[in-house]
Amino acid sequence: MAAEISEARAALAGVSSEPGASKPDPIVTGSNITRTFGGLKAVDVDKIEIQRGVITALIGPNGAGKTTLFNLLTGFDEPDAGDWSFNGKALAKVPAYKVARLGMVRTFQLTKVLSKLTVIENMRLGATGQRGEKFFSAAFKSLWRSQEDANTARADDLLQRFKLDEKREDFAGSLSGGQRKLLEMARALMVDPELIMLDEPMAGVNPALKQSLLGHVKSLRDEGRTVLFVEHDMDMVRDISDWVIVMAQGQIVAEGTPQSVMADQRVIDAYLGAHHDTDITNIDLAELEQEAEAELAAESNEETPS
Amino acid sequence: MRLRLAALLAAVLGIFILLPSASASAETTPTPSPSAGGAAPQQNPIVEGANITVTLKDLNEGKGEPKPIPGVTLTVLKDSKTGEELGSQVTDQSGRVSIGIPGNGTYVVELDPKTLPSGVKLSGAGATTKTVQVKLASSNFVTFPVGARVIEKASKASEIVDGTRDGLKTGLLIALAALGLSLIFGTTGLTNFAHGELITLGAILTYIFNRGVGLPVIFAGVLAVLASALFGYLQDRGLWRPLRRRGTGLIAMMIVSIGLALLMRSIFQYGFGGSTRTLSEYVTQPRNSYGPIDLSNKEIAIFAVSIIAITVTCVALMRTRLGKAMRAVSDNPALSASSGMRVDGVISSVWILGTALTGLAGVLLAVQQQVNFNMGFNLLLLVFAGVTLGGLGTIWGALVGSLIIGLMVELGPVFGVPASIKEVGALVVLILILLVRPQGILGKAQRIG
Amino acid sequence: MDFGTIIDAAFSAAFGPQAIVFALAAIGLNVHFGYTGLLNFGQAGFMSVAAFGLAVTVVTWDLPFWLGLIVGMFAAIVLALVLGVPTLRLRADYLAIVTIASAEILRLCFGAVEFKDTFGGSNGLTGFVRPYQKLNPYNDGLTLGVVSFSRSDLWSITVGWTLVAICCLIVWALMRSPWGRVLKSIREDEDAVRSLGKNVFAYKMQALVLGGVFGGIAGIFHILKQGSSVPTDFNTTFTFYAYAALLIGGAARVLGPVVGSMIFWFLIAGIGSFFSEATKGADPVIPNWIMQPDQASLIRLILLGLGLMLLMIFRPQGIFGDRREIAIDGR
Ligand SMILES: Nc1ncnc2c1ncn2[C@@H]1O[C@H](COP(=O)(O)OP(=O)(O)OP(=O)(O)O)[C@@H](O)[C@H]1O
Ligand SMILES: [Mg+2]
């Protein structure tokens, strides 16, 4: 197993660090994907390939279009144009649930646990191919009991691994923010995905938990899964990712190994912001304020009930 | 002289939830081409509101096209031949008279045989009176053919003109209420099922100030709008604000509003009774022709008032500080609050403005038709349809949507929707548009993840 | 003032046919709203298509009664499918408005003079109940203390409560299964469910059909117990009342809608009868200047509106519900 991984990593060694570089064994490929909101081009990706069997980090400043790209790839949103495929299967117009069934499962930046279900019920929901979820067999318990027991056993294993076994019977709504992130990740694993896409798995998680989460993410790769994750914490990115893709203003601006990317001037400009080396007193305050407001607006759009 | 005359009286009475749309119908008498007796008027427009409209035609024993008989005097009396005279008119060039009536009841239509052209006799027993029972059931379009088939049929073009006029009028009334609903929805997220009752409130208050207190209708209307606004403020302070404070969910609030609607409607019925009543002025008015369009004075007033109110509101929302604050809260309450805006104050203003507009819709509706405890409830669905069509919570959407709904309702019958269910067309369009654009015409799609 | 009359009215309403109609309709709403979170405000529409499906088949087309039952249920299923395709993609508040609109379209069409030959106009259709009444095994009515039921009511009660029991059993069996778990999850957050590979649309559609079928059963039972199928019975207010009944009992509970309907009718009939007794006669308990006899029946509606508001504010989970579990905080 370990040999395989370093093989996968080694394969990346020869890859150029140009944006949209071709990979030797891509699990996801996409080209010319664009998505606009009003006048804003949120995503404008010429080419993207994700290598199989490694951990790829997707980084970029707030509003770069990372979450939007996730939504597009997983069928939660429709692009204005573009093709992309998973394991060679074209995914344009494929609905989100089918994408998940193909083995490409994502989590959400704002966690979506089912707060009025217990933790274990959340987990059981993740299992695929359940007989008891078919309308006509649901009413007869004997038809699905054994399968349900097997799923429960698997769920309990995962809960133990993610240290949630003590919360098994609690309502998911009572979990802390970090625990929700864990639950969501564990639940996604119930689907048994080939590619797991994590949107900011570490946001709001305390340092101690972060370490164990890092371990979990690595163990996913060691199981042979492919991981694509969005993260703002550079330490973590440096720590666990095998490859880094940088987005800014909807475009992929750089790619490469963590070390090379972090040394890249374009990345520093795009990510650390144009202001990072400017004297703070020279910054146009109005402009800053505007930026902050736009961001807040974007964020509360997500939360505003409507 | 082949004079066997069929005199038929047909009275049609159109009353409909939104607007009385009067309708013409047939009647006849036979005979040789009448040499237009006396001073036949050019045209008798169909009276606005409840009316009895009669068209006299010479059936000529079924040979050839029936010909209208101008110059015959017809009188409408209340209850019986000896009852109160409600109006008398001479048939116009198209053989038509149209006389307004106050409401439900029994009416007698009397034809003065002396004014019939010579050689024309009434058919059958030659009776010169017909009795008509009028029932203004809420949304029924009642026909009383008193003899013959309906002959008169307005030309398609004039039907379209009339339909457009009625449609715009309905649309504007809906738009007033829809603007109110949309403002409140936009700022608070509340789907307010009690909104119809705010329309009724405006109408009933007008009735009370007019008939009860004895003020002229215009005064009463102004007071009713002010009182509606006050009620809106109190409602927000007394009910919705505490609920928001408690963190009550939007669906729970929506069900609360259903309860409130039921409560208010029952109280209206308790106090006002189940009957339909009229204001003291402007009940029936003849329409004057302006080019191809027939309009009564009160219709002109309704157009003017609603257009002014809507324009002023929209300009105010665009220009004033408060308007900007309202739009900001509506776009993003959390951000507005965090940037130091007094969100509660803004919401109060929205309630005041929203209920005032809605009350105004009720006032105009009371002038336009009559007052009933359930008039707002009957309109509610169309108001919702207008708001939804435009995209929930957007001001322009509510306007556009309401006008479309108004036109759909009134023009539907011209294009084959059965007249008794003309709202159906508008509702079907609503569903079809949502099929294509789930967020409404001007609404925004939501963000995921 | 005759308290016997009041008690009779209250109890016979709580156990009588009217409460059964509400219970059946509310069981359907419970599947829609309580478990799946679909705000269906058009339950009256499901009832009316099933009712007119039966009535038109038997009266207008002169076909056998059993075929009418099939046509009625089929009509409810078709309505769910037709309605589901456009509406299930909509946000909750849009869905509410579209379902109301659909139910109103149906009611207006059934009552239209233009379609009088088929649907009987505003008077509706009669003359389809004989096969149902023929099956009545009872010879006599039943009197229990002050409460009494007529012979035909007794038959309707037997049939009705049996139907209610069967429907509850079905709901119970389904909602403890993984299928029910998916529905409850959709109620919480459908995107999360989608991300786990479940076809949310299909589940919502199944829920809509199931609840619509319960609504259809309610509609058919309603016209059978009443002997006529009248369009105005199926108005939006009915749906609101059915919601009130569901919320009283508690949404997302198998027995919530049943108990809720009984309590609803107990109160409605009891209060109605109380005030009509109190305003009756030459020297009424409540003087005429306060309340006329024709106003008496409105008091219960006023109280109902008030009660619904207070219930939602102070105990949204109803009598049996679990506050943590109901879709009331949602959008
Ligand atoms: N539904 C939407 N409607 C309008 N604009 C949107 C929508 N979704 C995203 N955007 C805009 O698209 C841009 C990209 O947003 P996105 O959420 O993809 O950024 P991100 O890279 O995930 O940022 P962050 O790191 O803060 O999560 C932002 O400017 C955002 O405001
Ligand atoms: Mg993001």
pLDDT in tens, A205-241: 778 778 888 888 888 888 889 999 998 888 888 888 8
User: Nearest CA to CA, how far is A12 from chain C (Å)?
Assistant: 29
Residues of B whose CB is below 8 A from A303:
334
A40: CA distance to ligand 1 center in Å?
A: 10
Q: Do C195 and A130 touch (CB under 8 A)?
A: no
Q: pTM of the entire structure?
A: 0.81
List the single residue in A77, A110, A300 with the smallest CB-CB distance to B332: A300
User: Nearest CA to CA, how far is B93 from chain C (Å)?
Assistant: 31
Give, for B201, the enclosing helix (H) or strand (E): helix B195-207
Overall average pLDDT of the C300-308 stretch: 92
Weakest-pLDDT range from A103-112, A185-194, B2-11, B123-132: B2-11
What is the percentage of chain B residues whose pLDDT exceeds 90? 32
Copy the structure tokens of residue B274.
Answer: 């189940």
In SS3 terms, B117-128 reads as CCCCCCCCCCCC
B159-436 belongs to CATH 3.30.700: no
Alpha-carbon gap, residue C183 to C202, rounded angstroms: 11
pLDDT at C294: 79
Residue C125: how many CB atoms within 10 A of its CB? 23
Q: Taking 70 as the threshold, does the pLDDT of residue A270 lie above it?
A: no
pLDDT in tens, C128-184: 999 999 998 998 888 887 778 888 899 999 999 999 999 999 999 999 999 999 999
List the single residue in B251, B253, B423 with the smallest CB-CB distance to C108: B423
List the single residue in B331, B335, B447 with the smallest CB-CB distance to A302: B447
Higher pLDDT among residues A211 and A141, named by residue: A141
- Picking from A67, A78, A110, A112 by the largest number of C CB atoms within 10 A of its own CB, the best residue to mutate is A112
User: Which residue lies with its CA nearest to atom 12 of ligand 1?
Assistant: A42
pLDDT at A210: 82
Beta bridge partners of A90: A85
pLDDT at B442: 65
pLDDT in tens, B255-282: 999 999 999 999 999 999 888 888 988 8
Alpha-carbon gap, residue A122 to C181, rounded angstroms: 9
Measured in residues, chain A has a length of: 306
pLDDT in tens, A22-81: 888 889 999 999 999 888 889 999 999 999 989 999 998 888 899 999 999 999 998 999
**Cβ-contact A54, A8 below 8 angstroms:** yes
Alpha-carbon gap, residue B322 to A89, rounded angstroms: 54
pLDDT in tens, C28-48: 999 999 999 999 999 999 999
Beta bridge partners of C140: none
**Residue boundaries of the structural domains of chain B:** 51-142, 159-436
pLDDT at B107: 75
User: CA B364, B367, B368 angle in degrees (round to 5)?
Assistant: 85
Write out residues with Cβ below 6 Å of ligand 1: A 37, 40, 42, 60, 62-68, 109, 298; B 447
- Helix, strand, or coil here: C41? coil
Mean pLDDT of chain B: 77
Kindly list the partner chains of chain A, i.e. chains with 3 or more CB atom pairs below 8 Å: B, C
Measured in residues, chain B has a length of: 449
pLDDT at A18: 77
Please name which of B234, B242, B209, B256 lies closest in space to residue B367, comparing C-alpha atoms.
B209
A300: CA distance to ligand 1 center in Å?
A: 11
Mutate to test the pocket of ligand 1, among A59, A66, A77, A249 (most ligand atoms within 8 A of CB): A66
Q: Taking 50 as the threshold, does the pLDDT of residue B439 lie above it?
A: yes
Confidence of residue B95 (pLDDT cuts 50, 70, 90): confident
pLDDT at C201: 93
Copy the structure tokens of residue B364.
Answer: 């105009």
Residue at C125: amino acid letter: L
Weakest-pLDDT range from B31-40, B282-291, B324-333: B31-40
A66: CA distance to ligand 2 center in Å?
A: 6
Give, for A44, the enclosing helix (H) or strand (E): strand A40-51
Q: Taking 80 as the threshold, does the pLDDT of residue C233 lie above it?
A: yes
Comparing alpha-carbon positions, the chain B residue that sits nearest to A70 is: B449
Per CATH, the number for C3-326 is 1.10.3470
Measured in residues, chain C has a length of: 331
Q: Taking 50 as the threshold, does the pLDDT of residue A276 lie above it?
A: no
Q: Is A167 at the interface with chain C, CB within 8 A?
A: no
Residue the block writes with tokens 């959400």: A108
Beta bridge partners of C315: none
Weakest-pLDDT range from A164-173, C1-10, C15-24, C67-76: C1-10
A75: CA distance to ligand 2 center in Å?
A: 16
User: Nearest CA to CA, how far is C99 from chain B (Å)?
Assistant: 9
Confidence of residue C231 (pLDDT cuts 50, 70, 90): very high
Overall average pLDDT of the A285-303 stretch: 55
Phi, psi of A122 (to 5 degrees): -55, -45
Atom of ligand 1 nearest to the CA of A70: 18
Confidence of residue B30 (pLDDT cuts 50, 70, 90): very low
Residues of C whose CB is below 8 A from B449:
191
Q: Which long-range contacts (CB under 8 A, 24 or more apart) does C66-71 make?
A: C68/C128, C69/C220
pLDDT in tens, C74-130: 999 999 998 888 788 777 777 888 899 999 999 999 999 888 899 998 889 999 999
Q: Do A71 and B449 touch (CB under 8 A)?
A: yes
Alpha-carbon gap, residue B439 to B117, rounded angstroms: 63
Between the alpha carbon of residue B87 and those of residues A78, B186, C321, the distances in Å are: 66, 49, 63
pLDDT at C323: 62
Torsion of CA A279, A284, A285, A287, to 10 degrees: -130
User: Which residue lies with its CA nearest to atom 18 of ligand 1?
Assistant: A65
Please name which of A256, A292, A291, A208 lies closest in space to residue A19, comparing C-alpha atoms.
A256
Q: Taking 80 as the threshold, does the pLDDT of residue A3 lie above it?
A: no
How does C187-200 read in b/e, with b if 16+ C-beta sit within 10 Å? bbbbbbbbbbbbbb
**Cβ-contact B102, B83 below 8 angstroms:** no
Q: Taking 90 as the threshold, does the pLDDT of residue B371 lie above it?
A: yes
Q: Do A301 and B447 touch (CB under 8 A)?
A: yes
pLDDT at B86: 77
Higher pLDDT among residues B183 and B63, named by residue: B183
What is chain B's alpha carbon radius of gyration, rounded to the nearest angstrom? 25
Comparing alpha-carbon positions, the chain A residue that sits nearest to B339 is: A293
Residues of B whose CB is below 8 A from A109:
449
Q: Is C2 at the interface with chain A, CB within 8 A?
A: no
Task: Return the half-sphere exposure (C-beta side, CA atoms, 13 A cut-off) of residue B124.
Answer: 13
Alpha-carbon gap, residue B53 to B47, rounded angstroms: 8
User: Nearest CA to CA, how far is B142 from chain C (Å)?
Assistant: 10
pLDDT in tens, B198-207: 999 999 999 9
Beta bridge partners of C265: none
Q: Taking 80 as the threshold, does the pLDDT of residue C191 lie above it?
A: yes
Please name which of B413, B448, B433 lies closest in space to residue B162, comparing C-alpha atoms.
B413
pLDDT at B336: 72
Higher pLDDT among residues B60 and A73, named by residue: A73
Domain A2-113+191-278 homologous superfamily, CATH:
P-loop containing nucleotide triphosphate hydrolases (3.40.50.300)
**How many whole angstroms from its chain centre is CA A244?**
13
Higher pLDDT among residues A265 and A119, named by residue: A119
Give, for B151, the enclosing helix (H) or strand (E): none
pLDDT at B7: 30
Overall average pLDDT of the B133-144 stretch: 40
List the single residue in C86, C237, C305 with the smallest CB-CB distance to B259: C305
Mutate to test the pocket of ligand 1, among A35, A37, A304 (most ligand atoms within 8 A of CB): A37
Alpha-carbon gap, residue B79 to B85, rounded angstroms: 10
Per CATH, the number for B51-142 is 2.60.40.10
Residues of chain A with CATH 3.40.50.300: 2-113+191-278
Weakest-pLDDT range from A32-41, A180-189, B355-364, C83-92: C83-92
Q: Do C179 and A306 touch (CB under 8 A)?
A: no
Copy the structure tokens of residue B276.
Answer: 């339909």
pLDDT at A305: 41
pLDDT at B152: 46
Mean pLDDT of chain C: 90
User: Which residue lies with its CA nearest to atom 25 of ligand 1?
Assistant: A62
User: Nearest CA to CA, how far is A81 from chain C (Å)?
Assistant: 22
Weakest-pLDDT range from A251-265, B54-68, B104-118: B54-68
